Amino acid sequence: MRICRKLCSVILTLAAALILFMALQSEAAVTEVITFLTWKPNQPEVWEELIDDFHSRNPDIRVKIQVGPHSSTEYHAIVTQRLKNRDTSVDVFFMDVVWPAEFASAGWALDLSSFFDIHERVVFLKGPIDANTYKGGIYGVPCYVASGLLFYRRDLLEKYCLKPPETWDEMLAQGRKVLAGENDPGLRIYSGQFKQYEGLVCNMLEFVWSNGGEILNSASGHVNLTDNKVVDAVAFVRDRIIGSAAPLGVINYEEPESLDIFLQGKVIFHRNWPYAWAVSNNPQRSALSGKVGVGPLPAFKGNRTASTLGGWQFGISRWSNKKESAITFVRFMTSYDSQKKLALEAGLAPARQDVYRDDEVRQKMPHLADFLPAFQNARPRPVSPVYPMISQELQRFFSRGIVDPEADIHELAIRSAGSIKRFLRLGEALEP
């Protein structure tokens, strides 16, 4: 009897210990928290839904979101500071299309070649894959792609029997005709992004390229900033766009501000990225729902339209202690279903080619068929580990050139070209 009681006591003690052990193990295995550092999105509710969907499918991983500013320039400063300090609390981060070479060269971004092989890469558009490739490794997985497009008041162009303009001069002439007919003092011809930030570089490159100019020859490394085609394009923006076709306040506009006046119906033509299509046709946010057209940007006479390659990608920090969970998250966010959701609900253009063939996407977003050639042929900004330094110099050059009516653009170009040459030499010294 006594032996039986001792045996029962031992069994109960072991059972209690086993239950406690299992509880502790279960608690330890419930979740691993990863941090996703991102910029402020235009459609936060869609991203929140995606994160919730990820949690439901991966109950052992929780994603903590840290949101930075909407400005690419300001967000870049935050990301680089965190990675430079080897901050282990950052696991996944968003990268602009021009950052992978910089982050790879600095040793901040994890080389993803071992899990993102060539067979997975061919599913994506070639341009974003090339932008994420550096020294044979790949350091980002594309989330969505973008290129500059011309949005316009289709209702007004149809009213005055006008076709979408093919040249910048034609756009201005059409704008003047509409203004004369509408007799609306609050209506302007054009809006774009001309504040001194990365968006200014994108806008101005499109004017330069569509005039036959080139900032930097990627093959030879020659800086062409002083070329007459470059100088003339900058002068055109200063003399014909700023404070004339566009309101003077456009020199302080990023994407949200420039889009807002278009949504209010206060401008005829508007340059922006693909996401603006969904916003422009949302009756809760736009006075122009159902009245908007979209197409390629104009060019100068005798030249071809040009568009800057944009888009964002996921990178994984080299300093992350939770790389497997981070990879699981990135795979989910760049999957077919996730990119389809971002297309249908956020108006973002997929980086995956297969999503463009989806029946529902083709039915609900027929304009993507018109976007695709622009995405396939969009021109990248210089791929260099010192691109941020090049961009800062270009921002100063372009901003001074279009804001100051007394500025000698050619002299400004000479000084900026000298600075960019020094940056390129520094970049060569940084090459491993």
- Domain CATH code at residue 298: 3.40.190.10
In a domain, 6, yes or no: no
Cβ-based burial of 74 (10 A; exposed 0-12, middle 13-18, buried ≥19): middle
| C-alpha to C-alpha distances, 166 to 61, 88, 126, 209, 273, nearest whole angstrom | 50, 50, 27, 15, 18
Considering the domain architecture, whether residues 282 and 348 belong to the same structural domain is answered as no
Q: State the residue range of the domain holding 53.
A: 31-146+309-377
In a domain, 97, yes or no: yes
In a domain, 115, yes or no: yes
In a domain, 266, yes or no: yes
pLDDT mean values, one per 10 residues, the chain (432 residues): 52 48 47 93 91 97 93 89 95 95 93 93 91 91 94 98 97 98 96 96 97 85 94 98 96 97 98 92 95 94 93 96 97 97 92 96 91 84 86 97 96 97 83 59
In a domain, 212, yes or no: yes
Kindly report each contact of residues 298-302 with a partner whose C-beta sits within 8 Å and lies 24 or more positions away, as own/partner.
Answer: 298/150, 298/165, 298/166, 298/167, 298/168, 298/170, 298/171, 298/210, 299/166, 299/167, 299/168, 299/210, 299/211, 300/167, 300/168, 300/169, 300/210, 300/211, 300/212, 300/233, 300/236, 301/167, 301/169, 302/212
In a domain, 22, yes or no: no
Of 377, 398, 422, which closes a domain?
A: 377
Considering the domain architecture, whether residues 291 and 405 belong to the same structural domain is answered as yes
| C-alpha to C-alpha distances, 317 to 135, 286, 289, nearest whole angstrom | 18, 38, 41
In a domain, 13, yes or no: no
Considering the domain architecture, whether residues 322 and 279 belong to the same structural domain is answered as no
Cβ-based burial of 190 (10 A; exposed 0-12, middle 13-18, buried ≥19): buried
The pLDDT value recorded for residue 268 is 98
Considering the domain architecture, whether residues 357 and 400 belong to the same structural domain is answered as no
The pLDDT value recorded for residue 217 is 79
What sign results for the dihedral spanned by CA atoms 199, 201, 204, 208? negative
Considering the domain architecture, whether residues 134 and 224 belong to the same structural domain is answered as no
The strand order across the sheet containing 267-272 reads 188-191, 267-272, 149-153, 292-295
Q: Structurally, how many domains does the chain consist of? A: 2
The pLDDT value recorded for residue 5 is 57
In a domain, 257, yes or no: yes
Residue type at position 308: T
Kindly report each contact of residues 334-337 with a partner whose C-beta sits within 8 Å and lies 24 or more positions away, as own/partner.
Answer: 334/141, 334/142, 334/143
